[in-house]
Amino acid sequence: MFSGRLNLIDRPVAKGKSEISLSAFSFLFSEMVQYSQTQVSNIGELERRLEDAGYSIGLRLLEMLCFRERNSKREIKLLDALKFVHSTVWKYLFGRQARDLEQSNTADDEYMISDNDLFVNKFISVPRDMGQLNCAAFVAGIVRGVLDGAGFPARVTAHFVPIAGQPRPKTTILMKFDASVLQRDLRLPSS
């Protein structure tokens, strides 16, 4: 077993296949949602469990992507970190960049990333008594892990936003940053 372990460490950080089977993921994710459902008693807790599952993924994803894609450079400004999530992380997860990255009009510390059809929700239909449950809370958890690890603590949630003229609503990931993040961002010399 000792020599087996050495091999694991000796292997290079492999790129791996960039595509996995959608059905495999859907089965796994549906099991995850069902399992979480048995453990909780309300919608908010269910979303929180999905978010926590995504959080640990986000931490590891941050390290891995910075090593591979960014050639070992960190992000120190808020906007750069958001752009990192919007392009690099989304590309790794979904194969394309996210649709929008916008700042909320009402609050200074809120930013939104929106996308049309996340495959996470592809095979999920939410019954009416579950209200506004959005299983993209899993993706929100991943984003929270990435931002938290990079030093930008935030509250990240996923919402459905209906769009005029389209049958299906788009999914918006809303990020509300701590006050300390904004203060630090103001203090930094802007490039």
Residue 181 vs residues 87, 162, 191: alpha-carbon distances, Å: 21, 30, 17
Minimum separation from the CB atom of position 181 to another protein (A): 11
For residue 101, the surrounding DSSP H or E stretch is: strand 100-103
Cβ closest to another protein, residue 11 vs residue 128: 11
Specify the residue for token string 């958890």: 141
Q: Are 86 and 98 in contact (CB under 8 A)?
A: yes
Minimum separation from the CB atom of position 144 to another protein (A): 13
Minimum separation from the CB atom of position 147 to another protein (A): 11
Cβ closest to another protein, residue 68 vs residue 122: 68
Cβ closest to another protein, residue 63 vs residue 100: 63
Minimum separation from the CB atom of position 5 to another protein (A): 5
Minimum separation from the CB atom of position 111 to another protein (A): 20
Cβ closest to another protein, residue 3 vs residue 41: 3
Phi-psi region of 8 (alpha: psi -120 to 50; beta: other; left: phi over 0): alpha
Cβ closest to another protein, residue 59 vs residue 124: 59
For residue 177, the surrounding DSSP H or E stretch is: strand 170-177
In the complex, the residues that contact another protein under the rule CB under 8 A are 1-3, 5-6, 8-13, 56, 59-60, 62-67, 70, 72-76, 149-151, 184, 188
Single-letter residue type at 22: L
Residue 125 vs residues 100, 130, 131, 132, 169: alpha-carbon distances, Å: 24, 10, 11, 11, 13
